[in-house]
Structure 1
Amino acid sequence: MTIPRRQALKAIASLALLAMTAAPAAGARPPSLTEAAGTYRVAGSSVIHFTVPQAGGGSGLAGDFGKFSGRFRIDGNNIEQSSVEFTLYPESVRSRERRIENFLRSSAVFDTANFKTITFRSTIVRQTGPDTATVEGTLTARGKSRKERFEVTLTDWNRRSIAFTIRGSIRRAPYGMDVGTPIYSNVVQFDMKIRGQRR
């Protein structure tokens, strides 16, 4: 069946209009922290990735955590009053090789037989831009607690969900996990993609 030319052009124009309204325009303003105010729980689709570089540019160690939980609240009136609570379960650590996973779970690193969780509780949130912030708080691992800081960028938001990238560098020696230094760096680099669901 042949579609008349005028009808075909009308259909194409309708599809183009639909595409323009469905997709954000190039260079569109990113969402702001103030607009995203609310309380969220951390979704299971989040990704908690870490790397420990090797001296001399080797492949180093890398892994992810498969189990975690948390919630965060963004205060739209005063971002500094926002809060973050996060829990990692080190037994769920995953890596490219089983022997590395077993090593990370051992008493040399996470000691999962004696310490079931790693927790972070924020103490202050400082907004550094419309869609960026610095989060400082207390990280507790292997029974030791220290102040740590993470850089947060809001990447996506709608009425029901929110997404961030979070990056930070943590020295492992203060937590009793300095095995392998100096062959492996004393610094663990975290690169996380966190998605939250509105509560």
Structure 2
Amino acid sequence: MSASPATSTWVIDPAHSSIEFAVKHMVITTVRGTFSRFEADLDIDETDLARSRAAFRIDAASIDTRQPDRDNHLRSADFFDVANHPTITFSTTNIERTGAGTYRITGDLTIRGTTRPVTFDAEVHGPAKNPFGKTVVALSVTGKINRKDFGLTWNAPLEAGGWLVGDEVRINADFELVKNA
């Protein structure tokens, strides 16, 4: 993305950012995980954040649920199929201000080669100066998707009823964005 005169380019500070997800396991418990490698192109209009644009890329193989066998299964063709679909992407199509520092972000999410429009809620905090004199903004994003909408359909029935893996995936992401000089 190239910045227009009204926008400035920002980068994610990976040391102060995270992408996390949570999904029900065996109907009764929640499994949480993260993606540790991601990047974005960010053009932020500081006078009207609703005119900003962002394109995120997540390395699907960087999934981590703190259980290596499960992580390998999630990387397999049963789930993310990282050999054929190594990247998860999200590109904004609309940003709507919903209140003081709150926004509704709509965009195209692509997982496993399937693209669907999704909407997330976001809170923006800042700007502020970090200890190195750089301008930073914090962005917290929350939302839900149905994994089956993206071709992640593998599951196993439970003897007592229900399914091993829930369909709803809750997403929480926190980013510290640093303004390029």
TM-aligned CA deviation for residue 40 of structure 1: 1.3
- Match for residue 142 of structure 2? 167
Shift of 1:55: 4.9
Count of residue pairs brought into register by the alignment:
162
Q: Letter of the aligned partner of 1:138 in structure 2? A: D
Residue 53 of structure 1 aligns with which residue? 24
In the alignment, does 2:110 pair up with 1:140?
yes
| 2:171 is the counterpart of 1:190 | yes
Matches within 5 A, 1:1-199: 38-45=8-15, 46-58=17-29, 60-159=30-129, 160-180=135-155, 182-199=163-180
Higher-Rg structure is 1
Deviation at 1:192, TM superposition (A): 1.1
* Cα distance in 2, alignment partners of residues 83 and 155 from structure 1: 17
Percent of counterpart pairs with the same letter? 27
- Give secondary structure in 2 for the equivalent of 1:96: coil
Long gaps (5+) in structure 1: 1-36
**Greater fraction of residues in helix:** 1
More strand by share: 2
- Counterpart secondary structure, 2:14: coil
In structure 2, distance between residues paired with 1:155 and 1:133? 12
TM-score (norm 1): 0.75
Partner letter of residue 167 of structure 1? T
In 2, Cα distance between the equivalents of 1:164 and 1:81? 16
Q: TM-score, normalised by structure 2?
A: 0.83
C-alpha displacement of 1:151: 0.6
For the structure 1 residues 118 and 56, does the alpha-carbon distance in structure 2 shift closer, same or farther, using more than 3 Å as the test?
closer
Query: Which AA in structure 2 matches 1:198?
Result: K
- TM-superposed CA distance for 1:184, in Å, is 2.0
RMSD: 1.7
* SS, match of residue 158 in structure 1: strand
Decide whether the 8 Å contact of 2:27 with 2:166 is kept in 1: no
